[in-house]
Chain A
Amino acid sequence: MPVRSASGLVAYVNARLIDPASGLDAKGALLTNGEIIADCGPGLFQGGVPSDIDVVDCGGLCLAPGLVDMRVQVREPGEEHKETLKSAGEAAVAGGVTSMVCLPNTEPVIDDVATVEFVARRARKIGLAKIYPYAAATKNLDGKELSEMGMLAEAGALAFTDGTKAIRDALVMRRALSYAATFGAMIVQHAEDPSLAEDGAMNEGEIATRMGLAGIPAAAEVIMLERDIRLVELTGGRYHAAHVSTAEGVDVIRRAKANGLDVTCDTAPPYFALNELAVGDYRTFAKLSPPLRSEADRQAIVAALKDGTIDAVASDHAPQDQDSKRLPFALAEAGGVGLETLLAVTLELFHNNHLSLIDALGLVSHGPAEILGLPAGSLKVGQAADLVLFDPDRPWMVDPDRFRSKSKNSPFDGRPVQGMVRRTVIDGRTVFDRDG
């Protein structure tokens, strides 16, 4: 399976090259030399491939930069029964993800240099998708004292976040934004006012009322975003809102961007592909944080993806075992796995004529790479050869039992989707080959 010739050169021919970074979408070929992209373009190898170069025939399928997933919960260290760096890595490459960023809400929390280095070391050893950690913005995610952001950034932490917890205290947020900016670092917020959200199990509204479940109002998100934007104005900090889920939430971001603030945001596939009705008969796999919202919110998220207000799509991969989900709805843990459905569900934006194929791909590659400042998400010559070869039209049914992820809690369970990964290449090395 590993394709690597004596010369270290591999030619991917007969491909539809799609590079969201440069806007290239054309038939052509790509050449890798060892770990990097050596050449790429429509005219490459038109006269044939020299015999000392190994050839991968792409069969006319799409060859694009590997996906960059900017929000993944890996559960290692601490909850290895739900997911490990290895199982997450396997799930990632099966989903075409070549770089992923993990949240610090592990046990122990990623809030010191040693844990950052542990994750980096483990990821290198496993050799699957590249794993970059976010570090905690506050020690032990307690929302009180700032973590050692400077040293953590030096050790490789990409940005700072309290993971699935909002940074609740306005003063702490102000200082986090301000201090992180000292090192050019970004704060990633789970934008949800805890006092409005903590008793709730799903979106507030008619469905929650009928089901007798306590609701989380959209205002919980909007209030936190509004507050944070004021603090960004105050501090000049760099702010990223994770998984925006409401119509008014994207309005807040839209206004902040129009005012020239250094603000970005992402959403996750459930928020543009599902609505609160997916909770149905107390389906805990559809219990997410933030909760699935109304249909009007879902449509607003699609609109914000189209107009560029939302910069990226992340899987928001949150593995939970059976024991955490096989519970009465209010007691079940929130979250869904998403690494293996990220590409296919994002491609719904293309198949439903909301976005071009290249723009849909940009949301899961170039978009997040730009936000994070990662050298990834493009087919630029000289860049690491992190590639995904996929068939954009190939239909399949989401079957979590076949996931590589240790946990099977997908909100997309049983959904028919289109777009299948055939091969994933990292640093020039094929790490996943569906046909191999």
Chain B
Amino acid sequence: MKEITYQKAINEAIDEEMKRDPSIFIIGEDIGKHWGGSLGELAGLFDKYGAERVRETPISETAILGGAIGAAATGMRPIAYLYFDDFLGVCGDELINQLQMKYMYGGKTKLPLTITAYIGAGLSAAHQHSKCLFGWLMNISGLKIVAPATAYDAKGLLKSAIREDNPVIFLEHKVLLLSRSTSQIPNEEYTIPLGKADIKRGGSEVTVVAIALMVHRALAAADKLQEKGISIEVIDPRTLVPLDKQAIIDSVKKTGRLVIMDEEPKTGSAAGEIAAIVAEEAFDFLDAPIKRVCAPDTPIPFSPVLEKFWMPDEEDLIKAINEIM
């Protein structure tokens, strides 16, 4: 085993995959030798694979994602580096109208491409650089969505995403990317299949489904609640599409209570979808109303004081849990 940061995990996953498969290349802005990705997570790859495969573009989101689609349809396996998920609106047509090529063409083609993008608040980056667009993305058919919370998950899931023959968006939380904390990973190669949730902490009284950075806040809240004698099970879906419904339902069957912690405005959120699934498929096992701990339905504010208020935190989660105990 070895210790690795979230950022290094992403770097290793791409490096190992590029070494394995010459049809893989990265296309995007500022990914070359100077920055190696805006947060440095691609450091060294340009020197190793050159300008041909670490292909720096002008600021051209539509040309990046559209180009990745055209290349994927004709035999390559691109990684479209879209920077912040907030920029996805610029190439919104590629996302909602073009990625569905396989379906529209009656199944005849495939699009083996991965989109990577930063997500999340916590850096006072304000509304245009802080969103988690989970619910928005989940509504787009034909796109798989990965949002890892740990270095271990990030590496194993990114390798699987790159190997997928379908479009996958891989969402990297900025707070995690900048974190120096590490997780243990095997020295040898491993992958994690998409669509498999991970029980980050076992418990018996409340199921908390938390996504990306919120996993860490849910774990911290679970520690505090443990001291008060409340047992929390924390489930990290890891991929929102496909969603491991069964893992969530199985947990709810055991605990009878569900709280979803999701860093995005409540309306139209991933949390809403998960709540609806459980209400539809496991209602009889619920002993209390489902709770959603989300952000308010507002844009994301800049000032640290306002941003802290906006982001769901441990206290919000503890309050929600107390309401249903």
User: A and B from one assembly?
Assistant: no
B residues with CB within 8 A of A:
none
